[in-house]
């Protein structure tokens, strides 16, 4: 079981360039964590099986391992093996892993076969390290989708840097899928929200596509945004007379917005507290307070409060996930409201 003061993490150790010390890094860090009394699992996703060999797992002990786990032939518990190092377990690899990419080519969730086990692994281990193969393929993508963080070993040479460049492009391609899928799903479920969600996801898309849209991304986040803000402020300021502002309708909107803001924060915190009563894995209630469209201010405030309580309690990345969900939810709700008004 993970220690109470440690937040469980899944870390993928990867580089598309081989020979950079990837497997050695994964073994040594996993062993070091086990040496300081952390519960650790090392998943060997490299068909070469060097991490399994390095931790003393014989061929006879690899009858059930990563291949069976991804192929869903056995429960993940059966794939986990003990090592000679106390506190360190391993899911070994064999050359059979090479066949996974062919066997899963027509499977819908082929990119998330490992991710489905992530919650279960986090309840059992403090750290889960994934030793990836030195290539871009289905095994590496499974590791990237399941991981909370990436560790990229790198040698000070040109070819290793080139491998890092390719890996960054791979991560960007995975991120591109999200705005496209989100726009399609929302358009089908709530068509009236399509313009709001579409523009929100378009901004995300041009940022992630790469160098070909670098100028557009920079312009949208800098020049266009600043110009729009100036003209919006001038337009509102030029037409804002005391008679149009100091009336019951405007004041009602301000008070209603403040009330909605307070209710959202209280409701989010209470929802997390209720959720914590039903599960062993607890969530910081402050994350529930960030389900608003105020990005990134809500996340920053929640993170500062968490750090004041515990200097090691950094929740920024979790809070941002909730914050972005709040933005998407607000856009959908606004679209529905506009459809009723119009």
Among 128, 13, 27, 111, smallest CA distance to 70 is for 111
Among 274, 283, 276, smallest CA distance to 8 is for 283
Residue 331 CA, chain-centre distance (Å), reads 21
Pairwise CA distance, residues 201 & 211, whole Å: 18
Condensed to tens digits (0 to 9), the pLDDT of residues 26-49 reads 999 999 999 999 999 999 999 889
Looking at the chain, list the stretches that DSSP marks H as alpha helix, in order from N- to C-terminal side: 22-35, 50-54, 66-71, 76-79, 100-103, 118-124, 138-146, 158-189, 194-209, 214-221, 223-239, 242-245, 248-276, 285-288, 297-309, 316-341
Residues whose CB falls within 8 Å of the CB of residue 342, separated by 6 or more in sequence, listed in order: none
Q: Which CATH architecture has domain 9-155?
A: 3-Layer(aba) Sandwich (3.40)
Looking at 64-124, list the stretches that DSSP marks H as alpha helix, in order from N- to C-terminal side: 66-71, 76-79, 100-103, 118-124
Condensed to tens digits (0 to 9), the pLDDT of residues 158-183 reads 766 676 677 677 776 777 777 888 88
Domain ranges in the chain are 9-155, 178-341
Condensed to tens digits (0 to 9), the pLDDT of residues 189-215 reads 888 778 878 877 887 777 766 555 667
* CB of 163 closer than 8 Å to CB of 156: no
* CB of 203 closer than 8 Å to CB of 170: no
Q: Which residue has the tokens 């990867």?
A: 14
What is the band of 341 on the pLDDT scale with cuts at 50, 70, 90?
Answer: confident
Hey, which residues does 9 pair with through a beta bridge? 127
Confidence at residue 97, expressed as pLDDT on a 0 to 100 scale: 83
Strands 88-91 and 81-82: antiparallel
Q: 0.75 cut: is pTM over it?
A: no
Pairwise CA distance, residues 267 & 326, whole Å: 13
Buried b (16+ CB within 10 A) or exposed e, 318-339: bbbebbbebbbebbbebbeeee
Report which of residues 276 and 243 the model is more confident about.
276
Confidence at residue 3, expressed as pLDDT on a 0 to 100 scale: 56
Condensed to tens digits (0 to 9), the pLDDT of residues 83-102 reads 999 999 999 998 888 888 77
Confidence at residue 58, expressed as pLDDT on a 0 to 100 scale: 85
| Mean pLDDT for the chain overall | 82
- Rounded to an integer, the average pLDDT of 144-157 is 84
Strands 127-131 and 9-13: parallel
Pairwise CA distance, residues 188 & 202, whole Å: 17
- Cβ neighbours around 67 below 10 Å, total: 25
3-state secondary structure of 129: strand
Q: What is the DSSP letter of 236?
A: H
């Amino acid at each position: 079981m993970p220690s109470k003061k440690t937040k469980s993490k899944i870390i993928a150790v990867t580089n598309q360039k081989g020979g950079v010390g990837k497997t050695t890094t994964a073994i040594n860090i996993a062993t070091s964590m086990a040496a300081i009394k952390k519960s650790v699992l090392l998943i060997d996703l490299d068909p070469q099986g060097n991490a399994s060999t390095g931790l003393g797992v014989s061929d006879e002990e690899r009858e059930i391992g990563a291949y069976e786990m991804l192929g869903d032939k056995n429960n993940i518990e059966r794939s986990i093996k003990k090592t000679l190092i106390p506190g360190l377990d391993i899911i070994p690899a064999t050359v059979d892993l090479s066949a996974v990419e062919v066997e899963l080519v027509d499977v819908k969730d082929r990119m998330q076969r490992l991710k489905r086990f992530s919650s279960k692994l986090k309840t059992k281990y403090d750290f889960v390290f994934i030793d990836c193969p030195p290539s871009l393929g289905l095994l590496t993508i499974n590791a990237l989708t399941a991981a909370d963080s990436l560790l990229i070993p790198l040698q000070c040479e040109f070819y290793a840097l080139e491998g890092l460049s390719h890996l960054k492009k791979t991560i960007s391609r995975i991120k591109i899928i999200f705005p496209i899928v989100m726009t399609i799903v929302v358009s089908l479920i709530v068509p009236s929200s399509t313009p709001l969600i579409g523009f929100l996801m378009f901004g995300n898309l041009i940022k992630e596509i790469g160098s070909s849209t670098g100028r557009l991304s920079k312009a949208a986040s800098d020049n266009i945004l600043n110009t729009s803000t100036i003209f919006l402020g001038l337009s509102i300021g030029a037409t804002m007379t005391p008679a149009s502002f100091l009336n019951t309708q405007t004041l009602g909107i301000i008070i209603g917005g403040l009330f909605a803001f307070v209710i959202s924060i209280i409701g989010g915190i209470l929802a997390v507290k209720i959720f914590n009563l039903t599960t062993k894995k607890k969530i910081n209630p402050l994350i529930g307070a960030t389900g608003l469209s105020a990005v990134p201010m809500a996340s920053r405030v929640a993170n500062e409060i968490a750090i004041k309580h515990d200097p090691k309690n950094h929740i920024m990345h979790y809070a941002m996930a909730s914050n972005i969900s709040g933005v998407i939810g607000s856009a959908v709700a606004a679209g529905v409201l506009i459809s009723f008004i119009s």
